[in-house]
Structure 1
Amino acid sequence: MRAATRIAVVGAGLGGLTLAGLLQRRGFDVSVHEQATGFARIGAGIILSANAVKVLRRLGLEPGIVATGIRPDSFLSRDIATGETLYELTLDAASERRFGGPFVNIHRADLHALLQSALRPGTIRFGEGLAGLEERDDHLRLIFADGGTAEADIVVGADGIHSRLRALLQGEAPPRFTGRLAMRAVFPPGRIPGPPIRDCTKWWADDRHVLVYFMTGRRDEVYVMTAVPADSWEGDDTSVPGTRAGFLAGFEDAHPDLRRVLEAAETVMVWPICDRPRDDRWHAGRAVLLGDACHAVRPYMAAGGASAIEDAGVLARCLAEFDDHGTAFARYAATRIPRVAEVQRISIENSWMRGPTELDWFFGHDVCTAPLA
C-alpha cells in the first residue's frame, strides 16, 4: 500500500498508539483521534508478556519499559485457602532467551506515556469522539461529536469494548456482563505487615481469584485486583468507588499470606467484568477493528493488552505489504482470529498458569516475523 495512504486511528489506547507508531515508521500518514480531552494517570497495572514486548521493541521502547516497570522474579500461583503453590514460572535470563523477551509489570499510564513518545508531535487529536462515518468514492469521512470532520483512506477502530466504529459497522449492542466484579486497590507495600511479598502472585479458588503484583522496580506500589461472583450490575461498566469491607468480604477464609495483603487496602474501586460474544466480522469496506473493539476478552489471562498490541503488529505488516486494503484486512483477520479465539477461550475458562501450562505458543510468538495466514 502506498506510504501516502491516510490512516485515521480512532482511540488512543495501547493498540491504537502501537499501530500509529508502527505505521509512521513505515512512512504512512497517520492521525489518532481520541474522544478524551487529555490523558490523566488513571487505571493501574498491566502485565506485558514477551510476545507484546517483542512488538514494542520495533518502536524502540523496550529499554524504557524495562527501566520504568519491573521484571518480576516469577509468576506464582497459590491456592487461596491453603496457600499451596500450584505453579511457578521462574522469570530470569533463561526464560527471556526461551521466549525472546522479558516479562514486565508496569503501570498502564507509564506504558501509555512511552507509547506517546514514539509518535510524531501532533499525531494525537484530543476531544474528537467519533459520531459518524461517511463513505465517499475513494475515502472515508469521519464526523466527530463536536461537529468536526476528517478524511482518511482507511479508518481503524481501536476504541475499546464500547467501540463507536464497531457500532457503526455492525449495529449497537451492549457488552455482556459476565457475572463477575473486579475490585482494585493500589497502596504502598509498607502497609503490609510481616515479611516482603513476592513480585507477582495469583491466588486461586474455584469461583474467584486475586492478582497481586508490584508495578515498578522500586517495589513502591502494590496492585491488587480481585474477581468475585455477582448476580447483577446496575449502571454502566465504568469503575465506581467501593468499600474496604466489601473488598474483604469475599476472602474471610483466605490464607494469612493473602489476608494480610488485602487488609492493607484503603481505597477500593469496583467495576463489572464484561466481554462480548465472539464475532469474526473485523472489517468492512475501508474500515477495520483491533483490540477490544473486535475481540473483548475477560482479564483472566492478562492477555487483553498484549493481544491488542499483537493486532497492531500484524495490521501494520499487512497494510505495508499488500497493495489494496481489502487484501490487507483479509490477511490480518485470517492471521489473528484463530490465535485470539484461543485467548478468548482460555480467558473464559480462567485456567492460564493455574497449573502446568504450555506457554511457548503464546509468550514465544513474534507476530512481526511469523508467517501471515
Structure 2
Amino acid sequence: MKNQKRIAVVGAGLGGLSAAGFLQRAGFDVTVYEQAPSFSRIGAGIILSANVMKALRRLGAEGALVEAGIKPHSYISRAWDSGEKMYEIIFDAASEERFGGPYLNIHRGDLHAVLEHVVTPGTIIFNSRLIDLKETSHSVRLVFDNGVETEADIVIGADGIRSRVREFLLGNEAPRFVGSVAHRAIFATESLRGFEIPDCTKWWGRDRHILPYFMTSRRDEIYAIGVVPQATWDSDAASLPSSRDEFLAAFDGFHDDLRRVLEAAEDVSVWPIYDRERNDRWSGGRIVLLGDACHPMRPYMAAGGAMAVEDGAILSRCLATFDEPAEAFRCYEATRIPRVADVQRISIENSWMRGPTDTDWFYCYDPCTAPLTPPS
C-alpha cells in the first residue's frame, strides 16, 4: 500500500500503540486518538509472553519493559486444597532461546509508560472520545466529543470490548456477561511480613481460580486476580469496591499458602468479566478492528494483550503488502482468525497450563515473521 495514506487508530491500548508503532516504521502517517486524559499508573498487572516480547523488541521496547517488569523464575499451577504442584514451566536462558524471547510480568501503567515511546512524539491525541464515523468513497470522517473532526484513509478500531468503532461497523450489541467476576488487588510485598511466595502461581479450584504474581524485579508489589462465579452483574459501573474479607470468603477453604497472601490484600475491587460471541467479520470498507474490539478474550490464559499485539503486527504487514484496504483486511483476517479462535477456545475452557501443556505453538510464534495467509 502507498505509505502516504493517513491512518487513524482509535484507542491507545496495547494493540493500538503496537499497530501505530509498526505502521509508522513502515512509513505510514498515523495518529492515535485516546479518550483518556493521560496515561497513569492505575489498573492491574499484565503478563507478556515471548510471542509478545518478540514483537515489542522490534519496536525497541524490550529493554525498557524488562527493566520495568520482572522476568519470573517460573509459572506454577497448584491444587486449591492440597497445594500439590500440578505443573511448572521454568523461564530461564534455555526457555528464552527456545521461545525466542522472555516471559514478563509488569504493571499495566508501567507498560503504557514504555509503549507511548514506540510512536513518534505528538502521535497520541488524548481527550478524544469518538462519537461518529462517516465513510465516503475516498475516506472516513471521524468526529470526537471535544469538537475535533478529521479525515483518514483507514480507521483502525483498537478501542476495546465496548468499541465505538465496532458499533459503527457491526451495530450496537452489548458485550456478554460470562457469569464470573474478578476480584483484584495490588499491594506491597512488605504486607506479607516476611512470608515468601513464588514469582507467579495459579491456584486451581473446582469452579474458581486465582493468580498472584510479582510485577517488578524488586518483588516489592503483588497483583492478585481471583475469578469466581456470579450469576449476574447488575451495575453499570466498570468495577465496584470490594474488601479483603470478601476476597478471603471467595477463596474459603483454599490452601493456607494462598490465604496468607490474601490476608495482606488492600484496595480490593471486583470486576465483571465480559466477552462476545465469535464474529469473524473484523472489517468493512475502510474500517478494521483489532484486539478486544473484534475478539475479546476471557482473562484465563493471560492472552488478550498478546493477541492485540499480534493483530497489530500482522495488520501492519498486510497494509504494507497490499495496495487496496479490502485486500489487506482479507489477508489480515485469514491470517489471524484461526489462531485467535484457538486462543479463545482455550481461554473459555480455562485449561492453559493446568497440567502438562504444549506451549511452543503459542510462545514460539513471531507475528513479525509468521507467514501471511493470502486473501481468498
Give TM-score, length-normalised by structure 1.
0.98
Which amino acid letter does the alignment assign opposite residue 29 of structure 2? D
Q: Which residue of 1 aligns with 2:38?
A: 38
Counterpart position of 2:24: 24
Post-superposition offset of 1:194: 5.3
Between the aligned partners of 2:261 and 2:133, the Cα distance in structure 1 is: 48
**How far is the alpha carbon of 1:137 from its aligned partner?**
2.5
Give the C-alpha shift of residue 193 in structure 1. Answer: 4.3
1:162-188 CA distances to partner (integer Å, 9 max, x unpaired)?
000001111111111111110111111
Counterpart-to-counterpart distance in 2, 1:250 and 1:187: 18
Which amino acid letter does the alignment assign opposite residue 31 of structure 1? T
Q: Secondary structure at the match of 1:279?
A: coil
AA aligned to 1:62 is E
How many angstroms apart in 2 are the aligned matches of 1:95 and 1:88?
A: 13
What SS does the aligned partner of 1:102 have? coil
Partners of 1:2 and 1:82 in 2: CA distance: 60
Is residue 237–residue 272 contact of structure 1 (8 Å, CA) maintained in 2?
no
1:193 and 1:260 in contact (8 A); partners too: no
What is the deviation of 1:124? Answer: 0.6
AA at the equivalent of 2:132: G
What one-letter code is carried by the residue in structure 2 that aligns with 1:276? R
Range with bigger deviation, 95-104 or 183-192: 183-192
Q: Give the SS at the match of 1:94.
A: helix
Residue 129 of structure 2 corresponds to 129
Partner AA of 1:311 in structure 2: D
Following superposition of structure 1 onto structure 2, how do residues 287-298 of structure 1 map, counting pairs within 5 Å?
287-298=287-298
State the partner residue of 1:99: 99
Which amino acid in structure 2 is aligned with residue 228 of structure 1? V
2:298, 2:73 → 1: CA distance?
25
CA distance in 1 between counterparts of 2:183 and 2:250 reads: 11
> Hey, what's the Cα distance between the residues in 2 that align with 1:292 and 1:86?
30
> Are the counterparts in 2 of residues 300 and 350 from structure 1 also a CA contact under 8 Å?
yes
1:241 is aligned to: 241
- The DSSP-based 3-state class of the residue aligned with 1:67 is helix
1:306 aligns with 2:324: no
Shift of 1:119: 1.2
Looking at structure 2, the residues matched to 39 and 189 of structure 1 have their Cα atoms a distance apart, in angstroms, of 25
Unaligned runs of 5+ in 2: none
Give secondary structure in 2 for the equivalent of 1:295.
coil
One-letter amino acid of the counterpart of residue 278, structure 2: R
2:129 aligned partner, one-letter code:
G
Other-structure match for 1:215:
215
Distance across 2 between alignment mates of 1:38 and 1:112? 10
Please tell me the residue identity of whatever aligns with 2:56.
L
CA contact (8 A) 1:9 1:33 kept: yes
Cα distance, 1:237 vs structure 2: 5.4
**Distance in 1 of aligned mates of 2:329 and 2:8:** 15
Q: Which residue of 1 aligns with 2:52?
A: 52
Moved over 6 A (4+): none
**Counterparts of 1:97 and 1:210 in 2: how far apart (Å)?**
29
Identity fraction in percent: 61
- For structure 1, the residue ranges without an aligned partner over 5 or more in a row are none
SS in structure 2 of the partner of residue 151 of structure 1: strand
Is residue 257 of structure 1 aligned with residue 242 of structure 2?
Answer: no
Distance between the aligned counterparts of 1:237 and 1:199, measured in 2?
32
Structure 1 CA distance, aligned partners of 2:368 and 2:73? Answer: 27
Q: Which residue of 1 aligns with 2:6?
A: 6
Aligned length: 373
Match of 2:65 in 1: 65
Q: CA deviation at 1:278?
A: 0.6
SS in 2 for 1:78: strand
SS in 2 for 1:310: helix
1:118 deviates by: 1.5
How far apart are the structure 2 equivalents of 1:289 and 1:355? 34
- Alpha-carbon distance in structure 1 between the residues aligned to 2:367 and 2:131: 32
Question: What does 1:1-373 align with in structure 2 at a 5 Å threshold?
Answer: 1-193=1-193, 195-236=195-236, 238-373=238-373
Per-residue CA distance 1:249-281 (angstroms, 9 max, x = gap): 121211111110011112101110111111101
**Conserved? CA contact 2:244–2:262, under 8 Å:** no
Give SS of 1:177's match: strand
Cα distance, 1:236 vs structure 2: 2.6
CA–CA separation in structure 2 for the residues paired with 1:41 and 1:195? 26
